[in-house]
Structure 1
Amino acid sequence: MAVAIGCRTWVVSGGNIPTVSHGEEPEFTSFDQLCLLNTGDGDAAVELTVYYPDQEPVGPYAFRVPGRRIRHVRLNDLIDPEPIRLGRPYGCLLTSSVPLVAQFQRQDTRLPGALALTDALGYAGS
């Protein structure tokens, strides 16, 4: 039996998907991404709500993370209930049915010939 590690609530406050990319797609497309680790045996039912500075929150975006697996979710790829706005600041609230570990990652290829990759753990709520 696997040990479930992490929290059921995570927050990321510094989202902003770059609007410009340089290089071959999809490897060098600028993105924001959630990296989720489920160390428990059961699947995680995950919901994501996105907050903007000038409108009501959008969501939930729903997906699953299988037990004892990782899942990387590119926020650029989320379209239902609506696409995440590019080039605009946002924050997000992630809730899970089981404990997860959540890491935030950004790839920024706005400058030709340059690649910036940033990682940060989300804020663990509970």
Structure 2
Amino acid sequence: MNREAAPKGHSLWFIPDGYIPPESSGSLESHESVCVLNCNKEDVTVAITVFFEDRPPIERIEVVVEGRRTKHIRTAGLQKDGESIPKGVPYAMEVEASLPIIVQYSRLDATQPANALMSVIAFPS
């Protein structure tokens, strides 16, 4: 089997649990990242839609991930038309890509002196 020709990943991913704590302690800031691995030779356009419990979603925030590269996208930095993800508000994300990719989701919780790091593979569809 030609591993170069086989598609790697999926074009549609879901991350149902997002939350950026409003405060951090110590020198590290709590944050979350969508980590994208693009094994394709071509650049991939990733469109992230952010869903909330009590307001309309922020639709299709586009990020380009260069071919054969990885990109760590901090969710606090995502914005479109002046809208961004507020701290202290639960959210979820749909990650849609122009070619198959691999998506990992990471959270650093620095709300207390004993920091916690969580990282999981997003749900592919």
The normalised TM-score by structure 2 is: 0.91
Percentage identity across paired residues of the two chains = 31
In 2: Cα distance, 1:77 partner to 1:37 partner: 19
What secondary structure does 1:114 align onto?
A: coil
Q: Does 1:20 align with 2:38?
A: no
In 2: Cα distance, 1:32 partner to 1:88 partner: 13
Aligned to 1:9: 12
Unmatched 5+ stretches in structure 1: none
Pairwise CA distance, 1:40? 1.0
Write 1 or 2 for the structure with the bigger share of strand: 2
Pairwise CA distance, 1:79? 2.5
In 1: Cα distance, 2:64 partner to 2:37 partner: 11
Deviating above 4 A after TM superposition, structure 1's stretches of 4 or more consecutive aligned residues are none
Aligned to 1:74: 74
In 1: Cα distance, 2:59 partner to 2:26 partner: 31
Alpha carbons 1:2, 1:41 under 8 Å: kept: no
The normalised TM-score by structure 1 is: 0.90
In 1: Cα distance, 2:72 partner to 2:118 partner: 15
Aligned to 2:55: 55
Aligned to 2:44: 44
